[in-house]
């Protein structure tokens, strides 16, 4: 049961272990692909065609109030 849930993750890891580990480390360290030194390293590797959208954009600067009728 538990191994069935881990199977897709293990499959990706076995196909490209270096890329998987790099993605895991960059995600853990919260590195942004659009900032140096990661951006310059990706460009050196020939990966200049990546799209990155920052998920933590500023949505007004703080808590917002809502009204429920």
The pLDDT score that the predictor gives to residue 57 is: 56
Q: What is the pLDDT of residue 43?
A: 79
Residues 6+ apart with CB under 8 A from 12: 20
Per-residue pLDDT of the chain (69 residues; tens, 9 = 90+): 677 888 888 888 888 888 778 888 888 988 887 778 777 877 787 776 656 555 555 556 678 888 887
Report pLDDT for 41: 76
Where in the chain are the domains? 2-44
For residue 1, what pLDDT is reported?
A: 67
The pLDDT assigned to 51 comes to 60
């Amino acid at each position: 049961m538990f191994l069935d849930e881990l199977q897709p993750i293990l499959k990706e890891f076995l196909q490209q272990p270096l890329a998987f580990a790099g993605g895991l480390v960059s995600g853990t360290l919260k590195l942004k692909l659009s900032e140096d030194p990661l951006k310059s390293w990706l460009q050196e590797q020939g990966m200049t065609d990546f799209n990155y959208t920052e998920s933590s954009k500023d949505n007004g600067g703080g808590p917002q109030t809502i009204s429920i009728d």
